[in-house]
């Protein structure tokens, strides 16, 4: 792997993957802690999840292809046992009909003048690509678990807000019904409050469904279908955020160390090696061979007990096959180079987008804190007015405070996810709000 590549570590997940199958299954079978915290959820990521198994299978396949390429020129030893009956010709030195034979032949390619070396180099770069892809798959899956975890927390806060809104709407409706019977509230005003209550009731149901759905999706992300966590605890807010580097420094780092760029560079290197292999495909092949043999009818110069020799194969003419193979490899190299250039553009654009998003969220963070402070003072005043019987109820104030809490949490979680995406792109776990435990 290039020295500049600093991907988010696979850590505990890869340790589990290296355990024997039974031990890994025991680790995966352990129940999730209750109540569940985000650190425990991230530590419980199962490498048996299809996303990670898919990436691991690609890496294993590429490594086996590399081993097969390295083994292609290993010495071969073949045994031939041939039981034959013949009708001798008119003047045979041996008139017997048993022409059985047994031979042992060993062959070894000594040199193909660089062709194998280029093929092996191409397979090495392809294996390197799949290793980077596997680490990126783990980092992206870790990000998905964070997203699902925060979704659960926000669904709980949304339900609390909507539940209070429905309760407040019900209290207002109930009072209006009583006053309507006394002739103090008109029917049209009563129906308006009835409609508001039914709207709040429907919104509460949707929020309750979102709670169940988000928990099920978190369980799926953790590869625990059917084990949706009942109680999920949020981290302390405000979150402790890493220092945001300067944009120019981030762009420089990602050009040098970014996993996406490293992956594309490895693909370009592999394409170059395949081009070299296509160019040297029809070079001469120098090999050696040795044979031990036994013949039932021993005669002639062709039936020696042992032979050793060198063979040089020189391709003379292959028609258009050589040019076609080289042209195809060259086109694949050009495609890989174009994808590298486009990936650099896309990654730089994404880094800029994340950087500006984090800047905006940091400003919005101040707005969220101001809202929280205002709503706390507002509900304190509402309680005082309620105690003095100058205000009918606290419902509206409590709903607004719950909404402010939801807004604040959503902003904090958006910051955490933006930093995590930046950490994945740059390949620096230090930019994560919840860095992997080394």
Q: What is the mean pLDDT of the chain?
A: 86
**Is residue 196, in this structure, part of any structural domain at all?**
yes
Name residues whose C-beta falls within 8 Å of residue 289's C-beta, 6 or more positions apart in sequence.
Answer: 105, 106, 107, 108, 307, 308, 309, 311
Angle at 413 between CA 409 and CA 414, to 5 degrees: 115
Residue 166's nearest CA partner among 197, 189, 211, 195 is 197
Angle at 329 between CA 327 and CA 330, to 5 degrees: 65
**Is residue 35, in this structure, part of any structural domain at all?**
no
pLDDT of 384-437, one tens digit each? 555 545 444 556 777 788 888 999 999 999 999 999 999 999 999 999 999 987
pLDDT of 369-378, one tens digit each? 887 766 666 6
Q: Compute the distance between CA of residue 419 and CA of residue 411 in angstroms, rounded to an integer.
A: 12
Pairing of strands 76-82, 306-313: unpaired
**Is residue 314, in this structure, part of any structural domain at all?**
yes
The rounded radius of gyration (Å) of the Cα atoms in the chain is 36
Distances (CA, A) of 282 to 20, 323, 327: 45, 11, 15
Structure tokens that stand for 42 in this block: 């991230």
Structure tokens that stand for 133 in this block: 């892809």
Q: Compute the distance between CA of residue 1 and CA of residue 382 in angstroms, rounded to an integer.
A: 62
Predicted local confidence at residue 8, as pLDDT: 38
Please compute the mean of the pLDDT values over residues 206-210 and round it to a whole number: 97
Q: Compute the distance between CA of residue 290 and CA of residue 136 in angstroms, rounded to an integer.
A: 49
**Is residue 28, in this structure, part of any structural domain at all?**
no
Question: Of the given ranges (26-30, 320-324, 408-412), which has the lowest mean pLDDT?
Answer: 26-30
Q: Compute the distance between CA of residue 8 and CA of residue 269 in angstroms, rounded to an integer.
A: 23
Please compute the mean of the pLDDT values over residues 195-207 and round it to a whole number: 96
What CATH number did the domain enclosing 389 receive? 1.20.1600.10
How much is the pTM? 0.83
User: How many distinct structural domains can be found in the chain?
Assistant: 1
**Is residue 392, in this structure, part of any structural domain at all?**
yes
**Is residue 31, in this structure, part of any structural domain at all?**
no
Q: Are 257 and 426 in contact (CB under 8 A)?
A: yes
Q: Compute the distance between CA of residue 200 and CA of residue 166 in angstroms, rounded to an integer.
A: 5
Instruction: Provide the residue range defining the domain that includes 203.
Output: 11-15+40-87+96-431
Structure tokens that stand for 114 in this block: 């660089």
**Is residue 3, in this structure, part of any structural domain at all?**
no
**Is residue 72, in this structure, part of any structural domain at all?**
yes
């Amino acid at each position: 792997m290039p020295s500049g590549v600093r991907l988010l570590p696979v850590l505990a997940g890869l340790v589990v993957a290296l355990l024997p199958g039974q031990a890994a299954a025991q680790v995966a079978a352990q129940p999730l802690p209750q109540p569940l915290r985000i650190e425990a959820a991230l530590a419980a990521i199962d490498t048996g999840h299809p996303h990670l198994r898919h990436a691991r299978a690609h890496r294993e396949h590429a490594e086996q292809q590399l081993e097969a390429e390295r083994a292609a020129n290993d010495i071969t030893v073949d045994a031939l046992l041939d039981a034959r009956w013949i009708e001798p010709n008119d003047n045979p030195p041996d008139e017997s009909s048993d022409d059985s034979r047994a031979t042992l032949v060993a062959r070894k390619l000594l040199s193909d003048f660089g062709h194998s070396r280029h093929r092996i180099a191409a397979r090495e770069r392809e294996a390197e690509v799949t290793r980077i892809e596997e680490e990126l798959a783990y980092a992206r899956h870790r990000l998905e678990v964070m997203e699902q975890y925060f979704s659960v927390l926000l669904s709980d806060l949304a339900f609390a807000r909507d539940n209070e809104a429905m309760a407040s709407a019900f209290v207002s409706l109930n009072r209006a019904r009583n006053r309507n019977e006394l002739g103090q509230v008109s029917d049209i005003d009563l129906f308006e409050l009835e409609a508001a209550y039914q709207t709040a009731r429907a919104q509460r149901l949707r929020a309750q469904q979102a709670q169940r759905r988000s928990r099920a999706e978190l369980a799926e992300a953790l590869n625990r279908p059917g084990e949706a966590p009942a109680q999920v605890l949020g981290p302390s807010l405000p979150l402790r955020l890493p220092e945001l580097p300067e944009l120019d420094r981030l762009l420089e780092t990602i050009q040098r160390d970014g996993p996406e760029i490293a992956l594309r560079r490895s693909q370009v290197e592999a394409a170059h090696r395949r081009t070299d292999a296509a160019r040297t495909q029809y070079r001469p092949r120098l090999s050696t061979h040795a044979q031990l043999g036994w013949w039932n009818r021993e005669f002639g110069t062709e039936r020696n007990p042992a032979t050793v020799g060198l063979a040089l194969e020189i391709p003379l003419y292959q028609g258009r096959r050589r040019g076609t193979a080289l042209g195809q490899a060259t086109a694949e190299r050009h495609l890989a180079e174009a994808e590298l250039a486009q990936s650099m553009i896309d990654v730089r654009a994404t880094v800029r987008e994340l950087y500006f998003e984090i800047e905006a969220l940091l400003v919005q963070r101040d707005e969220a804190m101001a809202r929280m402070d205002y709503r706390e003072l507002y509900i304190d005043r509402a309680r005082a007015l309620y105690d003095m019987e100058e205000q009918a109820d606290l419902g509206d104030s409590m709903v607004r405070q719950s909404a402010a809490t939801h807004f604040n949490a959503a902003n904090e979680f958006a910051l955490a996810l933006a930093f995590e995406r930046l950490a994945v792109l740059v390949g620096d776990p230090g930019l994560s709000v919840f860095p992997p435990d080394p």
